[in-house]
Amino acid sequence: MDEGQSYHMTPEEFRDWGHRVVDWVAAYWQRVESLPVRSQAQPGAVRSQLPPHPPGHGEGFGALLADLDRVIVPGLSHWQHPSFFAYFPSNVSGPSVLAELLASGLGVQGMSWITSPACTELETHVMDWLVEMLGLPEGFLSTSDGGGVIQDTASSAALCALLAARERASGLETDRLGCDRRLVAYASTQAHSSIEKGVRVAGLGQQNLRLVEVDERLAMRPEALAAAMAADRERGLVPCFVTATIGTTSSNAVDPLPAIGPLCRRHGAWLHVDAAMAGTAMLCPEHRHLQAGLEWADSYCFNPHKWMFTNFDCDCFWVADRRALVRALSILPEYLRNQATDSGQVIDYRDWQVPLGRRFRALKLWAVIRHNGVEGLRHHVRAHIALARELAGWIAADPDFELVVDPPLNLVCFRHRGGDAVNQAVMDRLNSSGEMYLSHTRLADRLVLRLCIGQTWTRRPQVEAAWRRIRAAARLLVDGGDRR
Amino acid sequence: MDEGQSYHMTPEEFRDWGHRVVDWVAAYWQRVESLPVRSQAQPGAVRSQLPPHPPGHGEGFGALLADLDRVIVPGLSHWQHPSFFAYFPSNVSGPSVLAELLASGLGVQGMSWITSPACTELETHVMDWLVEMLGLPEGFLSTSDGGGVIQDTASSAALCALLAARERASGLETDRLGCDRRLVAYASTQAHSSIEKGVRVAGLGQQNLRLVEVDERLAMRPEALAAAMAADRERGLVPCFVTATIGTTSSNAVDPLPAIGPLCRRHGAWLHVDAAMAGTAMLCPEHRHLQAGLEWADSYCFNPHKWMFTNFDCDCFWVADRRALVRALSILPEYLRNQATDSGQVIDYRDWQVPLGRRFRALKLWAVIRHNGVEGLRHHVRAHIALARELAGWIAADPDFELVVDPPLNLVCFRHRGGDAVNQAVMDRLNSSGEMYLSHTRLADRLVLRLCIGQTWTRRPQVEAAWRRIRAAARLLVDGGDRR
């Protein structure tokens, strides 16, 4: 080994430290339930424990592991705690983490087919597998005119869909000349904030996003969408993009695709369907009625990194017409030209996304699917949904609480009947306790508690304990004179 | 363990398989030099070996590892091969890969401070460390008005900079009303393709990107930039964004910031500096003259995932005025509201990027910096640059070859004097051989070979062998009657 090599960790050292890091992760998963779910750290507490200047000389990996335990872990909110019920989950599993390790070690780039053919082909392959696994339209298969690609997040998927829509509607004029303030996008008032962010990023302008009203089940009213599109046409504007959500963030509401699809077709608007969270449930045929009408969609995405045991980031995004997407996003400087690309026989995924570089994310999807099999994945998803229904039953039976919507899947929205202040105080108390972590939203102008059951290791005991804690916190607040 | 758990990999199984995966990666690094650098696979070869349907039932992780060896590895182009000289490198190292493993296992989300305080605070901290390590302007420190954030790629960093520039120039009108085709962006003809892609994504339109001509060293001509900006003003357009590159992709050319900066200031245009590859060299004070004038920059990025031994993805992006960035990208739906955010005391990095979710990428930067120390990192970078200079000397001394530019850092651009066809044939032969991998570009309308020395394990023997192989391939083609 030459002198230069000596600063690098050798393969032998990597093996040794690698075993210890694997053991650290395994032990972390075993002890995570003993840690406070939401970090108890105050702003600045973590930084104050770190040296102000970078080290001039290297140190052993053991020092980092020691600081991980001492400084970092107490500053984390533990998304893999089985009592993590906040936001949407971002669950992990062993096979996924190991495949991510393989991808990191291989360190290949999947920007073009030629830069690592297997990286592209495995991705195309598992994306085709998922079409079958989720009962998606055959038009999304790579063997049709469509195809799938892994994005980092549903935000990026929505942005790519919007860019394809923008160019389809303007005949590539926007791409060439710039936006002209006539293109309009639509989503329900319940759509994820990433849709608004995408509309702003893509230069359409926030004023050209119509937030369409919802019905009592918080699903988009198709007649309101129809009216908005017609009014915009009347004013000389161009309806170009509609997002429908299967499983909204606030309440898991499902927009009615069978009614929305024909409206989009009539106006030539691109229909993007966002099933970031709920998409995983479509592994189970009994839930596929929720995606009825998906054959109208121009694009669709769901996040295995939420509920399908695949560590972040991994968003699966399909389009029905891959040429429309590639036209909006392709760029080919001389230094990326190669014979395979010129032949037209291969997929270059750089033209399916905004960034150029890309990791080998298909490996972790492949690992998760193979480890669990379709039946194993269904088993886990059904267990979570059954727990959510059980919890919903307990809430509905309690006179002090009300269920805000009947939970279609694994998200339970409810509130104490004592009003917003009580609900806020219940949440703050529970989250500060470190025993569980839930989050909130506002529906019909009322503060609503959200409890989502999707962490890999969440089982009945954690859900039972959560309900016990919620009731106890409320009782203490309402009856204990501590009502704020 | 309950029935549901039984489908999941247990912590014990994770430990066992984890050790084997670590060993697999270590062994891969030890044997990668024996594999063909560029994959020899034909289109479809990988997919044809994969089962057409997903497995109904799960299988052991060993089956996946077996298929990794049998199907995937032969389909990869090996970016961690020490004879990988193509494109720009995307190098890895042990500490980085282990920290990525920790991040995967922890599985926390850093979208808001509250969702994992340490994830945000460690990121802010190492970004401040890097300001010191690279000799960047103090205005980029989080303790000033600026600050740093980790993006996935330089493409995304450029897009964020452009969005901030767009909103600053239009007084947030674009964000609200949409683009109006009056905003103009500038970059040299040598700027990375991601700048054009960003301009298209952000809705400015390709026609509003001026590709400014370069001088004989392939650096932007500031007088040409000045003329273009003045002409656009004259026509009622609004110069809003200039990208200057330190180390262009084609030839590592350096745009003159001291001349470009004042022009940007005069027109109120945002100056973004892209040092994706070359930024790592600024660890060494002797190269910092290349970033002279950086105090004019509104934003700056470089990629530790290229040359700083940090596995992809990891782009470091700084702004001098964080409020301008946050104004362009912030969004706060009810379900993300929390007391820490409302207090204004914390950074929520979701407002510094396009996607919402984010991994704990700071861990790997922390690990790389601590393992190597500043001196160790300098040592590696200096070794690569010394090799590039040595190779440049050999090329300059060979009558059959010419150096196209004097290599400022670790990228050597050269060509055989026999013309484009010979150079193309030399490259094709070498890349097809699997012994080494280099790439090409076009400069002054001539095909130029690019050989970049930046893979972690590249040492003198690989560079010597590369030069031997290049000369041999050329001799065979030119003298062997095989000239195509």
Tell the residue number behind the tokens 């979208």, with chain if given: B111
**CATH no., domain B108-359:** 3.40.640.10
Q: What per-residue confidence (pLDDT) applies to B2?
A: 42
Looking at the predicted structure, is the pLDDT value of residue A59 above 60?
Answer: yes
Give the closest-approach CA distance of A274 to chain B in angstroms: 15
- Cα pseudo-dihedral B416, B421, B427, B428, rounded to 10: -160
**CATH no., domain B368-479:** 3.90.1150.10
In CATH terms, the superfamily for domain B6-35+39-76 is dopa decarboxylase, N-terminal domain (1.20.1340.10)
Q: Which residues contact A231 (CB under 8 A, 6 or more apart)?
A: none
Give residue-wise pLDDT tens across range A267-314.
999 999 999 999 999 999 999 999 999 999 999 999 999 999 999 999
Tell me which residue in A58, A200, A363 faces B376 most closely, judged by beta carbons: A58
Residues facing A246 on adjacent strands = A254
Closest by alpha carbon to A475, among A417, A388, A405?
A: A417
Looking at the predicted structure, is the pLDDT value of residue A484 above 90?
Answer: no
Q: What per-residue confidence (pLDDT) applies to A481?
A: 52
Q: What per-residue confidence (pLDDT) applies to B62?
A: 97
Which chain A residues are Cβ-neighbours of B177 within 8 angstroms? 181, 205, 207-208
Tell me which residue in B78, B87, B203 faces A179 most closely, judged by beta carbons: B203
Q: What per-residue confidence (pLDDT) applies to B176?
A: 82
Tell the residue number behind the tokens 């490996």, with chain if given: A363
**Rounded distance between C-alpha atoms, residue A79 and residue B116, angstroms:** 9
Output DSSP code: residue B214: B
Give residue-wise pLDDT tens across range B77-89.
999 999 999 999 9
Mark yes or no for CB contact B104/A109 under 8 Å: no
Looking at the predicted structure, is the pLDDT value of residue A4 above 80?
Answer: no
Looking at the predicted structure, is the pLDDT value of residue A332 above 70?
Answer: yes
Nearest CA in chain B to A24: B102
Widest pairwise Cα distance in chain A = 76
Q: What per-residue confidence (pLDDT) applies to B339?
A: 87
Residues facing A440 on adjacent strands = A449
Which chain B residues are Cβ-neighbours of A122 within 8 angstroms? 46-47, 50, 72
Give the closest-approach CA distance of B380 to chain A in angstroms: 6
Give residue-wise pLDDT tens across range A84-131.
999 999 999 999 999 999 999 999 999 999 999 999 999 999 999 999
One DSSP character per residue, A210-238 reads EEE-B-TTS-B-HHHHHHHHHHHHHTT-E
Contact present, A312 and A281 (Cβ < 8 Å):
no
Give residue-wise pLDDT tens across range A470-483.
999 999 998 875 44
Tell the residue number behind the tokens 């669709």, with chain if given: A300
Q: Which residues contact B477 (CB under 8 A, 6 or more apart)?
A: B418, B422, B425, B426, B429, B483, B484
Q: What percent of chain A has pLDDT over 90?
A: 92
**Rounded distance between C-alpha atoms, residue A364 and residue A315, angstroms:** 12
Mutate which of A88, A314, A354 to disrupt the B interface (most B C-beta within 10 Å)? A354
Q: How many helices (H) and strands (E) does chain A have?
A: 15, 11
Tell me which residue in A58, A77, A176 faces B114 most closely, judged by beta carbons: A77
**Rounded distance between C-alpha atoms, residue B426 and residue B480, angstroms:** 13
Tokens, residue A67: 């600081």
Q: Which residues contact A61 (CB under 8 A, 6 or more apart)?
A: A9, A13, A17, B95, B98, B367, B371
Q: What per-residue confidence (pLDDT) applies to A335?
A: 80
Those residues of chain B that have pLDDT short of 50 are 1-5, 482-484
Tell me which residue in B28, B109, B371 faces A312 most closely, judged by beta carbons: B109
Mutate which of B81, B101, B153 to disrupt the A interface (most A C-beta within 10 Å)? B101
Q: How confident is the model at residue A52 (pLDDT cuts 50, 70, 90)?
A: very high
Q: What is the mean pLDDT of residues A340-350?
A: 90
Give residue-wise pLDDT tens across range B200-240.
999 999 999 999 999 999 999 999 999 999 999 999 999 99
Where are chain B's structural domains? 6-35+39-76, 108-359, 368-479
The CATH classification of domain A374-479, taken from the options 3.60.15.10, 3.40.50.150, 3.90.1150.10, 3.40.50.450: 3.90.1150.10
Give me the total of CB pairs closer than 8 Å, taking one residue from chain A and one from chain B.
536
Q: What per-residue confidence (pLDDT) applies to A247?
A: 97
Give the closest-approach CA distance of A209 to chain B in angstroms: 10
Per residue, what are the HEC states of B113-145?
CCCCHHHHHHHHHHHHHHHHHHCCCHHHCCCCC
Q: What per-residue confidence (pLDDT) applies to B4?
A: 44
The pairing of strands A147-151 and B315-319 is unpaired
Higher-pLDDT residue of B77 and A345 is B77
Tell me which residue in A46, A174, A196 faces B122 most closely, judged by beta carbons: A46
Mark yes or no for CB contact B178/A205 under 8 Å: yes
- Where are the strands (E) in A23-162, listed by range? 147-151
Give residue-wise pLDDT tens across range A154-183.
999 999 999 999 999 988 788 788 888 999
Q: What per-residue confidence (pLDDT) applies to A5?
A: 47
Domains B6-35+39-76 and B108-359 are alike in CATH topology: no
- Architecture (CATH level 2) of domain A4-76: Up-down Bundle (1.20)
Closest by alpha carbon to A78, among A459, A420, A431, A364?
A: A431
The pairing of strands A238-245 and A183-188 is parallel
- pLDDT averaged over every residue in chain A: 95
Outline where B272-419 has alpha helix (H): 304-307, 322-329, 339-343, 362-397
**Rounded distance between C-alpha atoms, residue A107 and residue A101, angstroms:** 10
Mark yes or no for CB contact B457/A5 under 8 Å: yes
Tokens, residue B98: 């282990």
Q: Is the dihedral of CA B171, B172, B173, B179 positive or negative?
A: positive
Looking at the predicted structure, is the pLDDT value of residue A188 above 90?
Answer: yes
